[in-house]
Structure 1
């Protein structure tokens, strides 16, 4: 059985990869996937500590987060498809083009 430190290290590495993906990339889809990677790293961390302390509360919260992330994925991916169809690209510069002028 792997130790608590091993799971925590893997979780921190996955979270760091997600943060680097959000900071370094300009493609909206890759940024979204990096955010999902960070969310899954936090879930792994929660489940690890729940298992270590023999407590089911964090595992229940983790299952709820996965269910909410599935609904969020459907909405976010539909927004990405609509942006790509209207603008033809998935750069983060799309959001500055969508901004309206306030008079």
Structure 2
């Protein structure tokens, strides 16, 4: 497969993630859509790294950046799921609209 195919796939996955965040009101679906967008950006990073490996001589640049994005995404999962579970326990709903009710 050519790098263009991977970039097209990355753009499609990112678009699906944006659509999921904008349209769905469930916090878990929005959360999964954000993770899909992060994975699409990882795919683009690795693809650009492989396309431009000859210029820098170091093939792993994109993979290293993608690894750091995955580490940040793992930390985001921990914090995000804790917030979603807290909202669900208090409101018995995982709707994004209910998060505004937690204001003081």
* Pair in the same fold by TM > 0.5: yes
SS at match of 1:93: helix
Distance 1:96 1:60 in 2: 37
Decide which moves more: 55-64 or 85-94.
Answer: 55-64
Corresponding residue of 2:92: 88
Match of 1:61 in 2: 65
User: How far is 1:28 from its partner?
Assistant: 0.6
1:92 Cα deviation (Å)? 1.4
1:35 & 1:90 partners in 2: Cα distance?
16
Say whether the 8 Å CA contact 2:87–2:99 is kept in structure 1. no
Q: Distance in 2 between matches of 1:22 and 1:72?
A: 16
Task: Using structure 1 for the length normalisation, give the TM-score.
Answer: 0.91
Structure 2: segments with no counterpart, 5+ residues: 54-58
Alignment of 1:7-86 (within 5 A): 7-54=6-53, 55-86=59-90
Cα distance in 1 for partners of 2:75, 2:30 equals 18
Is the 2:14–2:40 contact (alpha carbons within 8 Å) kept by the matching residues of 1? yes
Alignment RMSD: 1.0
Long gaps (5+) in structure 1: none
